Amino acid sequence: MTRAAARVGIGQSAMSHNLARLRELLDDELLTRAADGMRLTPRAATLLEPVRSALAQVEAVLLREKTFDPATAVRTFRLGLSDSMEILIVPRLLARMREIAPGIHLRLYNVDMSRLLDDLDADALDLALAYGPIQQGQLHHKQRVLFTESFLCMFNAEKTGVTPPISVEDYVRLPHVLNQPEAGPQRARFRR
């Protein structure tokens, strides 16, 4: 018990207490004394492999490698972004990725601004690029401004009778087109 407690990093009495709780929970002695030390009961022996497997899975989740090497990493990242952001960023991003991260792939999704933080929390997206501020998230949600941009108004001065620069009043008075993609179900788009 003393050696097992030391390996786990607790005291011998805490280890004895935990063993007593396991014995009660499983309704089995689990360990019995023998001439050469402690021996597993048949029930404990059947638990050995499933417990090892479960601990290995927990360890894999909790002790992921902390260093990320893009040159050797093989992984697919799920990126949420609008069509216009895809046109603006993705071609140069992919060209750079081919140079420094050949094993990294992107899976692109249309971003639904109303569900963005929920999608990140649900592990449906790894990263999102969006226009404008996003609703206030939790402490673990991180936001960074990548760049700012302005609107562009294109018009034919001869047909509209307006001289540049166009005023807000002229803009509102004249017929115009507004392109605003609606948020909808995510459609996967694949890019390499």
- What is the distance between the alpha carbons of residues 129 and 92, in angstroms, rounded to a whole number? 15
- On whether residue 157 sits in a domain, the answer given is no
Total number of domains in the chain:
2
Residue 21 is predicted with a pLDDT of: 93
Same domain, 187 and 92: yes
pLDDT given at position 76: 92
Q: How confident is the model at residue 4 (pLDDT cuts 50, 70, 90)?
A: confident
From first CA to last CA, the distance across the chain in angstroms is 55
- pLDDT tens by residue, 80-123: 988 778 888 899 999 999 999 999 999 999 888 778 888 888 88
Q: Both 108 and 187 in a single domain? A: yes
Domain-located, residue 122: yes
Q: Which domain holds residue 13?
A: 2-62
pLDDT in tens, 133-160: 666 667 777 878 887 777 778 888 888 8
* pTM, rounded to two decimals: 0.50
CATH number, domain of 32, equals: 1.10.10.10
**Residue 110: inside a domain:** yes
137: CATH: 3.40.190.10
Last-in-domain residue among 62, 88, 114 = 62
Average pLDDT, the chain: 83
Q: Which residues contact 75 (CB under 8 A, 6 or more apart)?
A: 103, 104, 105
Residue 191: what pLDDT? 43
